[in-house]
Copies of this chain bind each other. A is one copy, B any other.
């Protein structure tokens, strides 16, 4: 996979500094360089049609449900088929980086676990290189979690402006961008950062989604018209993909609404959303490449972001289920990450 993907998290308070004019501009160029695409890998996945949509899940006979289905039918994704389609075969001729590079922008004085979880999950899913761009304080700690990550201590404690610029550059370079955690606060106050970017993915949890709806649609979350509201939110923000995390993860790219409801685990330990960010980033990158290298009739093309979200959601749920089976109530995020590999192997064996 030639293109890196980004999962942006945890930017502290805006200080109003212009990024391009700031003294840390040069240091941050290393970040942009790491995002530049390598030469594209050879296409190696056989052309095949996507099979990610199965039956609609809303089947109530009520008028309301009928209206809802007409407006925004929610399909249950055939998520295993999606994972199998977009995961690239392991090709002996490939070089380091071609199976994916990820840049996680996050990590400050307070938060170090979240960017670590996202970055290590990307590696465990199958990316070749995982970079973390964070503050100096956070870097020492994140480095100590794992020698596998490349950690760049180049951000200032207040790095909203910087993240905004990175998002603009990522967009120009067609790099899929996952926005989670505090990144959602940033874009809620500046929708222009993701507006009209078909490769931007927002992954709000229940609280973050509520805030997004209130800020963008100027109303409260309405459970009865949930999928229409999600569709409206996508349109209002303009062409982005939103994965609304919950009991089922509901994914909308402004055209279709798909959900993954495979049961994962009843444990709600903090950090699972970070696994998802890292995994979705890698899968979206793979899906993007799959679509580019397998000619599809335009009308049959599915958004790579939708595919990435479906695959990431399923993988987290499978891994959480296995981790819970083993560790029960004491399951923590690290236990789940340990099962990402087995979960992917169960769906899509490396030697297929």
Q: Write the residues of chain A forming the contact surface with B, with a CB cutoff of 8 angstroms.
A: 30, 87, 90-99, 109-113, 116-117, 123-126, 128-129, 137, 139-141, 143-153, 205-207, 247, 263, 266-272, 324, 327-334, 340-342, 344-345, 349-350
Which residues of chain B are near A268, meaning CB under 8 Å?
A: 94-99, 128
Which residues of chain B are near A143, meaning CB under 8 Å?
A: 112-113, 141
A112 nearest CB neighbor, chain B only: B143
Which residues of chain B are near A110, meaning CB under 8 Å?
A: 30, 150-153
Q: Determine if A147 and B112 form an interchain contact, defined as CB atoms under 8 angstroms apart.
A: yes
The docked-state distance in angstroms from the alpha carbon of A207 to that of B345 is 31
Which residues of chain B are near A266, meaning CB under 8 Å?
A: 90-92, 94, 350
Closest chain B CB from A115 CB (angstroms): 9
A341 nearest CB neighbor, chain B only: B330
The docked-state distance in angstroms from the alpha carbon of A129 to that of B90 is 36
Q: Determine if B247 and A93 form an interchain contact, defined as CB atoms under 8 angstroms apart.
A: yes
* Shortest beta-carbon contacts, A-B, top 8: A330-B341, A90-B266, A113-B147, A126-B329, A328-B350, A124-B330, A144-B144, A96-B268
Which residues of chain B are near A111, meaning CB under 8 Å?
A: 150
Q: A94-B266, A141-B143 are in contact. List 9 more A-B contacts (CB 8 A).
A: A95-B207, A95-B268, A110-B150, A113-B148, A124-B330, A140-B140, A148-B270, A148-B333, A330-B341
Which residues of chain B are near A147, meaning CB under 8 Å?
A: 112-113, 116-117, 145, 271, 333-334
Closest chain B CB from A69 CB (angstroms): 23
The docked-state distance in angstroms from the alpha carbon of A116 to that of B153 is 18
